[in-house]
Structures are given as C-alpha cells and as structure tokens.
Amino acid sequence: MLFTHALVRPPADSFSRAISSNAAQIDVALAQRQHAEYCQALRAAGLTVEALPPDERFPDSCFMQDPAVVIAGRAIIGRPGAEGRRGEEVALAAALAGRFPLHQIVAPGTLEGGDVLVLPDQVVVGRSARTNAAGIAQLAVALAGTELPVYAAQVEGYLHLLTAVTRLDDDSVLAVEGWPLPPPLNGLKVLVVPQAEAYAANVLAIGARVIIPAGYLRVGAMLAAHGFEVLPVPMTEFVKADGGVTCLSLVW
C-alpha cells in the first residue's frame, strides 16, 4: 500500500511513565531524538509528515497508531483498551475531521489500531487485551459499503496483532516464526521472522520501502533480498514501552 501522509506526535516528557510490561527506564531525551530520526525515515519513504504537539497528559500519546485508523477513506476513532490512554483519541479526531468521515467506537467496544491489519481485500482485527469483540463489530459497521470484510483473529502472547504480523505488500506479510497464522491470511506469502528477532516483525511498509527497527540484521537482509529498500530506525526507548515502528504514526 502506498501511503502519502503520516500524522505523528513527539514523546512528551511524561513518556517516562508510559505503560510498559518491563521495568526498563526510558530515556526521554533519547526517545525524542529517535522520534526525529523516525520522522526523517517517513519523509525518506515519500510521506508528508504532520506533527501534533506533545501532550503531557498522556504518557503514551506518541503511539499515534492506536487511537485511530484510516481505512478506505474513512477515519475510525478508537476507544483504547488501556483506560489510561482514553482521551488521546480526541486530538486525533480533531486533526482528521474535515479530511475523512469520522466513525467513533463507543462503550463497551474497545479498538486499538495496533490490532488492525488492513489488506487489499479484507481487514483482519486482533481480539486482544486491548481490542474486544464489540469494538470489532463496530468497526465492521463503520466499514459497511467499502467491500472490505472484517475478520477477527485471536491474539495471545502478544500485545497487539501487529506485534506478530505486518503487511508488506498486496501479496505478502511478515510474521513471527511459530505464530499461528489466522485463517483469513491463508494464501498470502509469509516471510518468517526468527524468534531471536521477533521484535522486527513489526515493520511499516510504504510501497517498496520498509521502515524497520535498527539492529535486526537478519530481518533487514531478508527484506532486502525480496527487493525492499530497508530504512532502519533506532527504537531502543520505544521498545521499553512495548511500542514498534507502526505504533509511532497514523498513516493514510
């Protein structure tokens, strides 16, 4: 899929208190520099990058993918499964209003963009700790008339669906070794990420260019061998908050 725009938000100073599954201390100043490098990679991939100002109220607000998704010319404003992140979606809704028709996920539904895998002919949504069945059902209603069926896929052992699998092009995905591919993905070519580099299963493909976390040489070499231009970016501070490269931007 060839995106043209990316909406980002630099980490606020409060990013040191971001939700995390580990006790690693986040270096916020380094995260802010890494975010700037990430934005440079987005531009190198041909995207127009727009930035919202940091929001100290929400430590996780640099992870722009989760509060909203843009699919088939429609913006779906999510309802985060993490209660501490509820409210982040307000600024995204304001930024997207006037560009796209807006559809809002409401209680009891939860939906985070990290669980939404958009393919040319379908949308696969992870049913995870952050996205529930009610949210998936509301997404299906929001996409009525787009000819994009919505399928649910159970996610276990990973924060989001896109932690385990990401789209590369119309015919292929990148997935962690040993991860059970959901039935809707059967028939696609799968490039397998070795367990030792599982973090690099989360990549952002923009046409022939792919943004990947720096330091994952086997995945980078595999993608290059398949004809992609690899754009590595440092992610050491974002992985401490369980974030990957797709998490840092809302693209359309």
pLDDT at 23: 86
Residues in the chain: 252
pLDDT at 159: 97
Using CA atoms, how far residue 7 sits from 106, 129, 165, 193, 232, in Å, is 23, 25, 22, 28, 19
pLDDT at 133 over 90: yes
What is the pLDDT averaged over residues 198-209? 98
What are the structural domains of the chain?
A: 5-251 (3.75.10.10)
Active site residues: 160, 247
DSSP line for 153-188 = EE--SSSSHHHHEEE-SSSEEEEETT----GGGTTS
For CA atoms 150, 151, 156, 161, give the dihedral sign: negative
Give the separation between CA 232 and CA 237, rounded to whole angstroms.
15
pLDDT at 167 over 80: yes
Q: Where are the beta strands (DSSP E) in the chain?
A: 5-8, 48-51, 68-71, 74-77, 102-104, 116-119, 122-127, 150-154, 165-167, 172-176, 189-193, 204-206, 209-213, 229-233, 250-251
Angle value at C-alpha 116, between 187 and 249, nearest 5 degrees: 120
Q: Give pLDDT tens digits for 105-131.
A: 999 999 999 999 999 999 999 999 999
Beta bridge mates, 153: 126
Give the separation between CA 123 and CA 97, rounded to whole angstroms.
23
Are 114 and 202 within 8 A, CB to CB?
Answer: no
Q: Give pLDDT tens digits for 8-60.
A: 999 999 999 999 999 899 999 999 999 999 999 999 999 999 999 999 999 99
pLDDT at 1: 62
CB burial of 23-46 (b: ≥16 within 10 Å; e: otherwise) equals: eeebebeebbebbeebbebbeebe
What is the pLDDT averaged over residues 71-97? 98
Are 114 and 66 within 8 A, CB to CB?
Answer: yes
Q: Give me the phi and psi of 9, to 5 degrees please.
A: -145, 120
Q: Give pLDDT tens digits for 186-201.
A: 999 999 999 999 999 9
The model carries a pTM of 0.97
What is residue 141's three-state secondary structure?
helix
Give the separation between CA 230 and CA 219, rounded to whole angstroms.
10
pLDDT at 83 over 80: yes
Q: Give the whole-number percent of the chain exceeding pLDDT 70.
A: 100
